[in-house]
Amino acid sequence: MTAYRPVLAVIGAGPAGLAAALAAAARGVRVVLIDSAAEAGGQFYRQPAHGLGARRPQALHHQWRTWERLRAGLGTHLAADRITHLSDRHVWCVERRSAGFTVHALVGPEQEESVAVRADGVLLATGGYEKVLPFPGWTLPGVVTAGGAQALLKGGLVLPGRTAVVAGTGPLLLPVATGLAAAGAQVVALVESAGPRDFTRRARTWSGAPAKLAEGALYAAQLLRHRVAVMVRHAVLEAHGIDRLASVTLAALDSEGRPVPGTERRIVCDTLAVGHGLLPHTDLAEGLGCRLDGSGVWVDDEQRTDVPGVWAAGETTGIGGSTLSLAEGHIAGRSAAARLAGTVPDPREWAAAARARTRLRSFFAALDAAYAARTVRWTEQVTDETVVCRCEEVTAGAVREAVGTLGAGDLRTVKLLTRAGMGWCQGRMCEPAVAGVAGCALTPARRLPARPVPLGVLAAPADPPAPQ
């Protein structure tokens, strides 16, 4: 009789999820890799649809050789039936049971049917999502998130416009600006609210990550080659247009993050790609009762959460880029394989990955501090007419009235009084904005389910057979 092999459900097929799946499968665990996209790779390695016939997809990517190794490894394990890849599966709940876990996922683009997967352990590699802060005109057609512009380019080979401004703050702006320029868009400005002094103060940290310095230098060279004007310590104040975006107004920032009077400048463009950093996806972890720390899901040295049988890796534990995600995924996959087999893992097996994890965590902590050093006083620029919750079309004025007139003192009360956060995204996208305008603390909310689910699915959830 064939010996039972434990089953590990890996949720998310980006860098962290792929590294974890390959590491676990290589050590005898049956891996079910569950992802919402049609192809593995996540946002970082997002692939064009096959029907587009892309001849040089590598031109849109960084670290393409790493992706080729991951893709080849996944193909090998798929052929050997060590990994089952379930694409187009949108996980809405992970249920703890007396003997393992049940992962519930909606199927396909319609998301009207749910399937379930039984597993002995769960590894969360759910990535992150963009933080976008509102400003007057941000709902105009032509204003997109920085990651959205990148996704259009990588996945659809589509430029969001011909004349673009890339603005906000954070390292994502660099690949977005260079990617759009290389694809043929005229990127007239890269507008970053942080300044050079915010980075030079941490020179010692940068010297410990030469590969990241080289990556930054490469982006700088590409911006120079495409003649992209880089405007540091600046911010977009307003987007203008009637039926769609026509121009933006930006200004220099003082040491307090306020616009400097007299520095306002208007730039003509048909696209504004804007982003203010990334936030970790923690909904599934919160639903399982995993502890969060200041950056994401808390994990130990083995990438284990405080919930037995649950691991987490990549951006869900804290934003840190693909290289850190790969290291964390490798460690998590090895640890899960050993623990599910009933053995104690040997940390020497992942010593190199652990050293990279330590170094990169330190680097990205300093990077976050540098970008946050000059916090934009963005709420002072948000007019009462500005929409802050797009799902429910709640304005900043309504939020301010809820606080100032009706006495709301926390996000939950603001939500009850204004409906901000009651729409399709359930506050996942607008919470930072609503909290900022309201002056309330941004406290994590435990959401069950983790995404909108049809009532019919909730009424008749699937009950899968136990693993064989």
pLDDT in tens, 359-405: 999 999 888 888 876 667 889 889 999 999 999 999 999 999 999 99
Nearest to 427 by CA among 451, 408, 410, 397: 451
Q: Indicate if the pLDDT at residue 462 is higher than 60.
A: no
According to DSSP, the β-strands at 100-107 and 89-97 are antiparallel
Region 57-80: mean pLDDT is 86
Q: Indicate if the pLDDT at residue 148 is higher than 60.
A: yes
Cis peptide before 449 (omega within 30 of 0): yes
pLDDT confidence band for 426 (50 / 70 / 90): confident
17 within 8 A of 11, measured Cβ to Cβ: yes
Rounded to two decimals, the pTM is: 0.92
Q: Indicate if the pLDDT at residue 463 is higher than 70.
A: no
What is the predicted pLDDT for the residue at 53? 60
Which two tokens mark 207? 């010297």
Burial classification of residue 204, based on how many CB atoms lie within 10 Å of its CB (0-12 exposed, 13-18 middle, 19 or more buried)? exposed
For 249-267, give the DSSP string: EEEEB-TTSPBPTT--EEE
What is the predicted pLDDT for the residue at 177? 95
Single-letter code of the amino acid located at 247: S
pLDDT confidence band for 2 (50 / 70 / 90): low
Q: Indicate if the pLDDT at residue 468 is higher than 50.
A: no
Torsion of Cα atoms, 40 then 141 then 426 then 381, to 10°:
120
